[in-house]
Structure 1
Amino acid sequence: MNRFTLFVRTMAPGWFAAVMGTAVTSLALTLFSKTFAWAALPAEILHWAAVVMMTVLGAAAVLRLVFFPKAVLHTVSHPVEGAFYATFPIALLVMAAEWTVRAEPLTAVAWLWWPGVVGTFLSSFVILSLLFAGKSLTLDQVTPGHFIPAVGLVVIPVAGAGLAAPAEGLMREVYFGVNMVGFGAGVFMYVGLTALTMARHFLGAPIVGKMTPTLWVHLAPLAVIPLSMLALLHAVADASLIRYGTLVASAFMGAALWWMVIAAVLTVKNLREGKLPFAISWWAFVFPVGALTVLALRLSAMMELALLPWVAAELGALLAFFWTAAAVGTIRGLLNGSILNPPEVKKLTGAVVPQPEAVAAVNAGRDGLEKS
């Protein structure tokens, strides 16, 4: 069995978080390049890296759906892993936002944005319907990873508002309608999910192991919601509303910075106790910090506060650290096969005894391939 076949067979849905993290890092560097010229080159490199990653991972996801549909269904139905399927369309939306900042043609941005919108709405309906109709989650199964479908909905206006602003007639109404539905649904889901995840933090078991990076996912909606709000306000072009919007956005950023301290303390604790092994979930460190960095840069350009550029610079340094750590770990895992051959499926190469659910998923995939 070659490595690509093994990758397709066992592909985790969270792989597209790598595209999200790379695209948002490119976006942040593009904004930094307006002040620091040196940032333009790494922004360009990461831009094309995100394009290549999306192409390869997208092809692998399609192949897995075609040849291993039962394995895909098994993962979608998983109470925790299923939420990560939303990273696929969200990655398209983040790329659309990055392309907007790069001043790419709006037609090209729309070609990314519309599939991302459709996929984000579809994944939110499917994932949540399966959760609501299936067995009840236990408190310890609730993680910040369940924010992902909601985060996708509020990402829609980040690039979508830029498409709505120059549109005319019916298309202007359509763009604004889609943006507002996505934004409203995402905020609504965020409020409910915050209560659930806080209940887990207070009353459930600590989040450790490969799920540790999801502690940082709390930052994502706290950063993306104000970014989308500001984008919509700029599309409406009401100066008074924008002034009030910056105050609201600043409050969200304050909440994100507050939570970041807690997430950092818990992450360091798990790291020191040996409870933070490398996994593809490390990319969950990157996008939330990237989104918060972009928010700090946006507010720096809108508000006359000398402290904000320094905050943005510090967040940018943290973003560079997390992206490098996740990228190096991913490349190393691809080279030595540890990511392609996670412990629960190592029986395929004769290493360890697998878990029953993993065997069922792999067998389901094999049945799908034989029938095809």
Structure 2
Amino acid sequence: MTAATPNTQLPDGALTRLEHYPVTFFAIGMGLLGLTLALRGAERAWDLTLPLSEIALVVSSLLMAVVAAGYLAKTIHMPSAVVAEWHHPVKIAFFPAISISTILLGTALLPLFPVAAAAIWLIGVSVQGGLSLAVIGSWISHRPFQTPHLSPAWFIPAVGNVLVPVAGVELGYVDLSWLFFSAGLVFWLVLLTLVMNRLVFHDPLPGRLVPTLTILIAPPAIAYVAWSHLVPDPGPFGQILLSLSYVFFLIVVTQAQRFRKIPFALSWWALSFPVAALSIASFVHAGETGSAAYRGLGTLVLVLLVAIIALLLVRTGKAIARKEICLPE
């Protein structure tokens, strides 16, 4: 039995794939838009005139539109499959990737099309607020979550909240930016304790979730960027956030050999946005302090990010060509 009554306008094969079209596809938009902002940071840091970030923005926007169209089709033709994904103890954490991608798109468009960017950003923030409350409400309800369900993917709602000030302050939504930043920071600290407990004292992450270890990098990196927008001088607290980003990056590097032992899945896209966040944070810090060392670190991380995204695009393309995506689990 399918998850919903089929729409006869679609062939059975298409319906089957649509039913298993995962919300994790939105991680692609997060990664590519993160690359866009990292390239923009590099252009500013090195005073480059090459329109690399604009090219990346066009490609990112197009791919994000394709991903969004696919999930919208699933919502229309297979609404109960979306409901089932929402009630999945692991996949529910990926739903805020939808709003995060939207916020990132608004942030990336802001220097070029401020009016459109503001509208897109407001939509993203509204959805982010609703999804964050819904996800956290689900976590603390009577639903029987177990320790194996916990993974670094649970940081995704917190990441979306601390992302808000990056464009929000410039758009004039200062109080709203503080609200989201405060909520994101507190829940990151709470979840960090839970996730570290799970990683240290319980069974290892299953293969498909191993790439989500990289998400450990994202909250402090994005929090640093947001903090630098909220206050005139990031100061010691900002330095702590940035330093924690590099600490978690090094921790992830120690686990890199585990990545080679697992087959490709869409969860591999979890590698991209956190690395982009670290590159962006490094460039922002270089601009704040005039540090050539952090400008160099940001560039090195950006080179790694480009390599990661190139590999992910190739592997995703091959998986789609071989029809290894959107299959029953």
Q: Do Structure 1 and Structure 2 share a fold, with TM-score over 0.5?
A: yes
Give the superposition deviation at 1:208.
Answer: 4.0
Q: Does 1:155 align with 2:141?
A: no
Q: Distance in 2 between matches of 1:140 and 1:113?
A: 34
Q: 2:274 corresponds to which residue? A: 288
Equivalent residue of 1:205, what SS? Answer: coil
CA contact 1:21–1:290 (8 Å) conserved in 2: yes
Q: Does 1:23 align with 2:46?
A: no
Question: What pairs up with 1:252-331 in 2 under 5 angstroms?
Answer: 252-271=241-260, 274=261, 276-331=262-317
CA shift digits 1:38-87 (9 cap, x unpaired): 78344222211111122222222222112211111111011111110110
Q: 1:232 corresponds to which residue? A: 230
Counting aligned pairs with the same residue, the percent is: 24
User: Which amino acid counterpart does residue 192 of structure 1 have in structure 2?
Assistant: V
**TM-score scaled by structure 1?**
0.81
Q: Does 1:50 align with 2:60?
A: yes
Number of residue-to-residue matches in the alignment: 319
Q: 1:153 to 1:34 in 2, by over 3 A?
A: closer
Equivalent residue of 2:277, what SS? Answer: helix
Question: What pairs up with 1:203-222 in 2 under 5 angstroms?
Answer: 203-222=201-220
User: Which amino acid counterpart does residue 220 of structure 2 have in structure 1?
Assistant: L
Deviates more, 1:19-28 or 1:121-130: 121-130
Instruction: Choose from 70, 94, 105 the match for 1:95.
Output: 105
Q: 1:337 corresponds to which residue? A: 323
Equivalent residue of 1:40, what SS? Answer: coil
Give the superposition deviation at 1:285.
Answer: 0.4
CA contact 1:9–1:68 (8 Å) conserved in 2: yes
Question: What pairs up with 1:122-161 in 2 under 5 angstroms?
Answer: 122-161=130-169
Structure 1 gaps of 5+ residues are 165-174, 234-241, 345-372
CA contact 1:154–1:183 (8 Å) conserved in 2: yes
Q: 1:72 to 1:129 in 2, by over 3 A?
A: same
More helix by share: 1
User: Which amino acid counterpart does residue 149 of structure 1 have in structure 2?
Assistant: P
Give the superposition deviation at 1:330.
Answer: 1.1
User: Which amino acid counterpart does residue 283 of structure 2 have in structure 1?
Assistant: L
Give the superposition deviation at 1:33.
Answer: 2.1
CA shift digits 1:230-261 (9 cap, x unpaired): 1122xxxxxxxx23x14322221211111112
Q: Distance in 1 between matches of 2:258 and 2:85?
A: 30
Q: Distance in 1 between matches of 2:88 and 2:49?
A: 40
Q: 1:64 corresponds to which residue? A: 74
Q: 1:347 corresponds to which residue? A: none
User: Which amino acid counterpart does residue 152 of structure 1 have in structure 2?
Assistant: G
Q: 1:303 to 1:4 in 2, by over 3 A?
A: farther
Q: 1:85 corresponds to which residue? A: 95
CA contact 1:286–1:323 (8 Å) conserved in 2: yes
CA contact 1:208–1:270 (8 Å) conserved in 2: no
CA contact 1:33–1:40 (8 Å) conserved in 2: yes
Q: Distance in 1 between matches of 2:55 and 2:259?
A: 33
Q: 1:219 to 1:330 in 2, by over 3 A?
A: same
Q: Distance in 1 between matches of 2:148 and 2:256?
A: 18
Deviation beyond 6 Å, 4+ runs, structure 1: none
Q: Distance in 1 between matches of 2:28 and 2:267?
A: 9
Q: Distance in 2 between matches of 1:161 and 1:322?
A: 31
Q: 2:6 corresponds to which residue? A: none
**TM-score scaled by structure 2?**
0.91
Q: 2:125 corresponds to which residue? A: 117
Q: 1:169 corresponds to which residue? A: none
User: Which amino acid counterpart does residue 305 of structure 1 have in structure 2?
Assistant: S
Structure 2 gaps of 5+ residues are 1-10
CA contact 2:319–2:325 (8 Å) conserved in 1: yes
CA contact 2:211–2:271 (8 Å) conserved in 1: yes
What is the aligned-residue RMSD (CA, Å)? Answer: 1.9
Q: 1:194 corresponds to which residue? A: 192
Q: Distance in 2 between matches of 1:307 and 1:36?
A: 13
